[in-house]
Amino acid sequence: MESAGEYDYIIVGAGTSGCVLANRLTQRKDLNVLLIEAGGKDDYLWIHIPVGYLHCIGNPRTDWLFRTEPDAGLGGRSLIYPRGKVLGGSSSINGMIYMRGQKTDYDRWAELSGDPSWRWDGVLPLFKRSEDHHGGANEIHGAGGEWRVERQRLSWKILDAFREAAAEQGIPKIADLNAGGGEGSSYFEVNQRRGIRLNTARAFLAPAAQRPNLTVMTGCHVERLLFEDTDAGKVCRGVQFTGGGRAFTATAQREVLLAAGAIGSPQILQLSGIGPAALLQEHGIAPLVDLPGVGENLQDHLQLRMIFKVKGAPTLNTRASNWFGKLWIGLEYALWRTGPMSMAPSQLGAFARSRPDLPAPDLQFHVQPLSLDKFGDPLHRFPAFTASVCNLQPSSRGHVRIASKDTYAAPKIVPNYLSTEDDRKTAASALGLTRRIVASPALARFQPQEYLPGPQYQTEEELAQAAGMIGTTIFHPVGTCRMGRSEDPTAVVDSRLRVRGVKNLRVIDASIMPFITSGNTNSPTIMIAEKAAEDILAGSG
């Protein structure tokens, strides 16, 4: 094997967290950093046009093309499970929605990890540090950071009416969905700059790439981590990877930082001999550290897509149904960077309670002025809108496990959606609440008619069954290398994100979340990287 050199830090994965880490660590001129990415450069046009996610998801140029195993909770269906395989990772193909979650999410993390620095008042400054909010700096938002947050450059009459209808059901209209909690609806804010997607490669990596102490290698597939036995125990010394038909090793003088995401990080750990011993032995891998939690605790937001036909309201279905409409949509974006081509996949958001006695919202709505049978299918020919609703804190847990010792083989992804009675009850309540909103006076003039799942589902049991029929991932996998206390046998990393049982190895991405955040997960992952970088630099001398 060829040597790719010696570095202070090696970052595995140039996705959301990897790009942030590369930026922050190379601000120290005395630190040399290697960033390794399996995908290519983010120079594909459709990455940067907001609606281009339709061309990036399911595209081997930008997506790992994962699928889940058939899921009993979804009637045996298998789902596409997009993960970014390009500089910027999933921030290059996601929905661009800027969302932090609720204060209580981080307070739970702090309690579980035993580290008060993970509380909301500890992580809020980290969110603000990287943020460049369109409204400027204030007590909850930052300005001047790399992560631009803007209002969406469009509005829809049908979405305004849904927002009014939600208010009639006790879900108030609010100005900011990122204040830390509470019920309310508003248009989502997005990570764009004047109608162009902002991924973490442009925001964080591009400035860092000009520094002489950063080396970026794309098209390189990490096969395993390299360890050395010492008097102090097992120490991670580097990585083994392939690229361009050549095999390499690289050495880390200080640490290896695994930032391959909620699917990639547990897979690499397992292939390297860190994980459940029985699983590793099953695939002929000698266990180095028996960590039963690696790959377990998979959590995701299952969105329940309800579709309603309407009359008298323009929707994207009708606007894009003819060549003139499509031409105007293209011109509108080309001339002003506005209109449907600047749209995030979801435009209107709302947080609500499935039951009035809950202390905080447990549901999130993503409402869209369009409808289709499933992702990738053409829009329906009739005017309609989609009201997707997800359980923010599901109790169902899945797992990610290697399928073989072949480092190029996709792992088995088993989400176990709707596998608990609580999740099924919450799903039934969510569908019922959506129906009450749509039946409110504010939407009456559009004569909404339920198209999916259909009005024949009425009882709680029937609605839970319908949820399994229409549910699909909203692409928020987390938790597979969970953070926890030293006495927790299922914890993979400690509160400083150091892997248990080895030295000089951290996991820094969405996989460390002990509980999924109450909302979209991309910007919380940036915060995780900010926190880890701060900790690494503080201890690096």
Q: Please check whether residue 106 is in contact with residue 118, taking contact to mean a CB–CB distance below 8 angstroms.
A: yes
Coil, strand, or helix at residue 325?
A: helix
Specify which residues 239 forms β-bridges with: 225, 250
476 is catalytic: yes
Residue of 301, 366, 380, 476 marked active site: 476
Q: Specify the pairing of strand 302-309 against strand 384-391.
A: antiparallel
What are the backbone angles phi and psi of residue 437, rounded to the nearest 5°?
-60, -50
Q: At what angle do helices 120-130 and 522-539 cross, to 10 degrees?
A: 100
276 with 295: CB under 8 angstroms?
yes
Query: What is the C-alpha to C-alpha distance for residues 243 and 234, in angstroms, rounded to an integer?
Result: 27
Residues 6 or more apart whose Cβ sits within 8 Å of residue 212: none
Q: Backbone phi, then psi, for 67, in 5-degree steps?
A: -135, 150
Distances (CA, A) of 311 to 52, 308, 318: 29, 10, 11
CB 12 within 8 A of CB 260: yes
Report the 10 Å Cβ neighbour count for 218: 16
With H, G, I as helix, E, B as strand and everything else as coil, classify residue 12: strand
Q: Are 256 and 236 within 8 A, CB to CB?
A: yes
| Residue 144 and residue 182 in contact, taking contact as beta carbons nearer than 8 Å | no
DSSP state, residue 148: E
Give the span between the Cα atoms of 18 and 258, in whole angstroms. Answer: 8
253: region left, alpha or beta (phi > 0 left; psi from -120 to 50 alpha): alpha
Catalytic residues: 476
